[in-house]
Structure 1
Amino acid sequence: MTGTDLAGLLTGARIVPVLTVPDPRTAAPLARALAAGGARCAEVTFRTPDAEQVVKAMAAEGGLVVGAGTVLTAEQAERAVAAGARFLVSPGLDDEVLDAARALGVPVAPGVATATELMRAVRAGIDTVKLFPAEPLGGRAMLRALAAPFPGVRFMPTGGIDAAALPGYLREPSVLAVGGSWMATPALLASGDYEEIRRLTAEAVERSVP
């Protein structure tokens, strides 16, 4: 599965909320808040022990295309898809994760930070990658530098991007979608402020409309 499949799966969504959710009990109301704000998809990071349960609960709500992020191993990829993840995102480029995604029949966006990694991704048949960590790497300037020699590649920049930086990234022709965590921070989840999550999501979605 390639990034082209990912583009179709996201159905035009240009915002990907990146979620680290410690408590699976918050997953269902979180999914409802994101969907109410206009989000079409979400990426649940496998950084917590209960990430599988979070994926399962959010997918069961039915309002979002739910994927799994921070996928580091083939075993995690298998667990994520079994829980209901429909796409995979990794912070780096790992052949075993790519092979697992192909075997599981789901799109995958591997992370790249250099031209060499991007060349490897292209050789592996990937045409959509995650630029990570986007802001520390140099932001839009780095994005343009990598995109220039690879006109067929689409990027999902993630890492350090906030609401203020979002419009600039979305104006870049090579950008498929932007990943960000500011819409549902750990503090907002801990306080159960789903209305603020909905508001921030709606604001981001509005900014993403050309």
Structure 2
Amino acid sequence: MPENKMILNKLSELRVIPVIRTKVAENAVTAVQWLSEAGFRTFEITLTTPDAIKIIARLISKTDALIGAGTVTSVKQAKKCIEAGAQYIVSPCVVSDLPAICHQYDIPCILGACTPTELHLAMEAEADAVKIFPVSLMGGSTYIKTLSSIFTGVPLIPTGGIKPNEVQEYLESGAICVGLGGVLVNETLIQQGERRKILEISLEIIQQATKYSS
């Protein structure tokens, strides 16, 4: 099996991708540390985070978790992330040239879509999976169920506004995994040192994910 397919299968097994987006670089590193303690084994580091590429390289050298790069909107950005060691690339939109560069390095490319037309364009560009964003504004898990019934076999990763108690519901609606950002990576809690609170939220989400049996 190609490496990019193996990585995508691993993301499906892990079921939840914490999306790391912070205003302070060190808060992103702290978030990964705490979420790792809770049991998460993959992290999407968004390029809107200061020093994101340095953080990706740092995490790749110090952890065995799958580290992806998020909010990638150009081939130039993708190359920098891949050179830093990123193991998958996530875009919030359809950038048709991204899958080709990712596949040169045998890593999966997840393109973002909101509408059925965008989803179709993402698959035409040979994306390995499609991030449905912002899913909460598009009808939530019901929307994922509808898309899954139309685009059969297309790996969908809903992201944006998903609540902890909705994780199982999204997985049952046809998502291969879900992306969770602000609910997990609350920068105010991180700055206040509320490690225990973030661990509690994390464990609730992990319990939700493990309730789902594919």
Q: TM-score, normalised by structure 1?
A: 0.89
Cα deviation per residue 1:152-178 (whole Å; 9 max; x = unaligned)?
A: 112110011121322211222x21101
Describe the SS at the equivalent of 1:85: coil
- Highest RCO, 1 vs 2 (Cα 8 Å, sep ≥ 6): 1
Matched length: 209
5+ unaligned residues in a row in structure 2: which ranges? none
Compute the RMSD of aligned alpha carbons. Answer: 2.1
Paired residues of 1:2 and 1:127 also in contact (CA < 8 A): no
Tell me, in whole angstroms, the C-alpha distance in 1 between the residues paired with 2:28 and 2:62: 9
Paired residues of 2:11 and 2:42 also in contact (CA < 8 A): yes
Aligned residue in 1 for 2:14: 13
Shift of 1:28: 4.1
Shift of 1:31: 2.5
Q: TM-score, normalised by structure 2?
A: 0.88
Runs of 4+ in structure 1 off by over 4 angstroms are: none
Shift of 1:48: 2.6
Give the share of equivalent positions with the same residue, in percent: 28
Shift of 1:68: 0.8
Cα deviation per residue 1:31-60 (whole Å; 9 max; x = unaligned)?
A: 221121111101111113311122222323
Tell me, in whole angstroms, the C-alpha distance in 1 between the residues paired with 2:102 and 2:62: 24
Is 1:207 the counterpart of 2:208? The answer is: yes
Q: Counterpart amino acid of 1:175? A: A
Tell me, in whole angstroms, the C-alpha distance in 2 between the residues paired with 1:123 and 1:111: 13
Paired residues of 1:42 and 1:64 also in contact (CA < 8 A): yes
Describe the SS at the equivalent of 2:14: coil
Aligned residue in 2 for 1:89: 90
Q: Counterpart amino acid of 2:177? A: A
Tell me, in whole angstroms, the C-alpha distance in 2 between the residues paired with 1:3 and 1:137: 29
Flag the 1:71–1:15 CA change in 2: closer, same or farther, 3 A. Answer: same
